[in-house]
């Protein structure tokens, strides 16, 4: 039994605890929001990350601390490291919190990225994507710009300008490494976004072995450089058979929710195993899989549950535009059946 502390008590924290309880572990959350999705499941300290006495109260009696989102202040992770091991290492947070630091880090490791600059006056080819360096997620804090004049009009502060990539598709790799250095990878996931928000993830065997090997090699470089422990996600654009790294998340990821029912071991269980230095579980898929995000509104619950094989997950969050409220996973034997089930969901859920 390990006492595991989690920074952040959102849906990812909730799914981590749900995966860790069968292994006999105990959980405690720290999250300033008092009505967090994970709050029902375990002790929840509703105090701020900048409050060192709250951090110490949280750490008391814990064996290990991990986090469910990458915008945990680095200082909070560093402070906790004085009392208890924190995984993934705080260096991973540092690299992932700033898009410029992150893309420069990819380049240092020889991992291709879209072209980028933080010199907003430099000559750059358009269209381009202007993004805040920090705190942007789900398409927030970014806009497409078509000229230098448009960049100037944005009066952007602390931004990165990126080449607009007309990619063939978006893919993510979810990797996991435990303290002993054992490493495993899930198959590359094909992701479909709308308005910058993930809507659909597919694992349907439509990725070449070469691309998979390339993604695994890139993830290995990142994990080795950071002496990484835990689950790591890297999001890529695929363009003409090449991978360009867009960003990484030092945590379990929305594009990996299908692993709960669709893989032998879920990303959540493997994160728990990794930080407890247990052997990692198999990452093999159990069929062809799809994960549909429920964003902003919810479909009729009963109708979804009538779809044979549909696994409904609700995060206990109040509906709000663009908010992730839940997801549905399908695991089928073949792509034709998977598509039929996806069509059934489409008829029931206008947001999809
Ligand atoms: P991000 O916040 O960087 O993950 O961006 C959210 C989504 O916006 C991505 O998943 C892409 O669909 C799109 N996007 C971000 N950056 C670019 C880019 N440089 N070129 C084209 N599309 C992008």
pLDDT for the residue 156 = 74
Establish whether residue 102 lines the binding site of ligand 1, counting it when its CB lies within 6 angstroms of any ligand atom.
no
CATH annotation of 115-163: 3.30.1490
Residue 22 in contact with residue 15, Cβ under 8 Å?
A: no
Q: How far is CA 25 from the centre of its chain?
A: 23
Residue 135: per-residue pLDDT: 83
pTM of structure: 0.97
pLDDT of residue 66: 98
Distance 325 CA to ligand 1 centre (A): 22
Show the low-confidence residues of the chain (pLDDT under 70). 137-139
**Cα 108 from Cα 275, distance rounded (Å):** 27
Is any ligand 1 atom within 6 A of the Cβ of residue 164?
yes
User: What's residue 157's pLDDT?
Assistant: 82
Query: Is 134 near ligand 1, meaning CB less than 6 Å away?
Result: no
pLDDT tens digits, one per residue of 186-214: 999 999 999 989 999 999 999 999 999 99
- The ligand 1 atom at the shortest distance from the C-alpha of residue 246 is 3
Instruction: Tell me which residue has its CA closest to atom 7 in ligand 1.
Output: 196
Q: What is 147-166 written as a DSSP string?
A: SHHHHHHTT-SSEEEEEPP-
According to the model, what pLDDT value does residue 139 have? 67
Peptide bond connecting 88 to the previous residue in cis, omega within 30 degrees of 0: yes
Please provide the DSSP assignment of 273-290 as one string: HHHTTPPPPP--BSSEEE
Centre of ligand 1 from the C-alpha of residue 10, in Å: 23
Q: How far is the CA of 334 from the centre of ligand 1 (A)?
A: 30
Domain ranges of the chain: 3-86, 115-163, 169-348
- CATH architecture of residue range(s) 3-86: 3-Layer(aba) Sandwich (3.40)
Buried b (16+ CB within 10 A) or exposed e, 93-112: bbbbbbbbebbebbeeeebe
Distances (CA, A) of 185 to 96, 107, 254: 20, 22, 16
Pick one of 3.40.1350.10, 3.30.470.20, 1.10.238.10, 1.10.357.10 as the CATH number of 169-348: 3.30.470.20
Instruction: Determine if ligand 1 sits within 6 Å of the CB of residue 70.
Output: no
Residues belonging to the chain: 352
Q: Is 126 in the pocket of ligand 1 (CB under 6 A)?
A: no
- What is the rounded radius of gyration, in angstroms, for the C-alpha atoms of the chain? 20
Q: What is the pLDDT of residue 132?
A: 93
- Residue 347, Cβ neighbours under 10 Å: how many? 10
Strands 128-132 and 159-163: antiparallel
Look at residue 70 in the predicted model and tell me its pLDDT: 87
State residue 98's pLDDT score: 96
Angle at 43 between CA 278 and CA 254, to 5 degrees: 60
Give the model's pLDDT for residue 153.
Answer: 85
């Amino acid at each position: 039994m390990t006492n595991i502390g989690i920074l952040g008590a959102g849906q990812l924290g909730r799914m981590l605890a749900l995966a860790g309880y069968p292994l006999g572990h105990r959980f405690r959350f720290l999250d300033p929001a008092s009505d967090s999705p994970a709050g029902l499941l375990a002790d929840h300290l509703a105090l701020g990350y900048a409050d060192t006495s709250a951090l110490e109260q949280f750490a008391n009696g814990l064996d290990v601390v991990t986090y469910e989102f990458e915008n945990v202040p680095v200082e909070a992770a560093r402070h906790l490291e004085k009392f208890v091991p924190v995984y993934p290492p705080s260096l991973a947070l540092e690299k992932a919190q700033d898009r410029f630091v992150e893309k420069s880090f990819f380049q240092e490791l020889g991992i291709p990225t879209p072209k980028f600059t933080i010199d907003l006056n430099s000559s750059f080819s358009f269209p381009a994507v202007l993004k805040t360096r920090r705190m942007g997620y789900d398409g927030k804090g970014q806009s497409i710009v078509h000229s230098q004049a448009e960049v100037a009009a944005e009066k952007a502060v602390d931004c990165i300008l990126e080449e607009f990539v007309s990619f063939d598709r978006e893919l993510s790799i979810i990797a996991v490494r435990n303290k002993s250095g054992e490493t495993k990878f899930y198959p590359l996931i094909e992701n479909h976004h709308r308005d910058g928000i993930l809507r659909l993830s597919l694992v349907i065997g439509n990725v070449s072995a070469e691309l998979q090997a390339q993604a695994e090699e890139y993830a290995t470089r990142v994990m080795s450089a950071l002496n990484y422990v835990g689950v790591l996600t890297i999001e890529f654009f695929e363009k003409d058979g090449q991978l360009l790294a867009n960003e990484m998340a030092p945590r379990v990821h929305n594009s990996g929710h299908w692993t709960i029912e669709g893989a032998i071991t879920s990303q959540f269980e493997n994160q728990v195993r990794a930080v407890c230095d247990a052997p990692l579980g198999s990452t093999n898929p159990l069929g062809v899989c799809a994960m549909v995000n429920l964003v902003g509104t919810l479909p009729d619950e009963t109708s979804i549950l009538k779809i044979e094989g549909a696994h409904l997950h609700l995060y206990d969050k109040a509906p709000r535009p663009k908010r992730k409220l839940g997801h549905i996973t399908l695991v089928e034997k073949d792509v034709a059946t998977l598509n039929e089930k996806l069509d059934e969901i489409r008829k029931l859920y206008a947001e999809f």
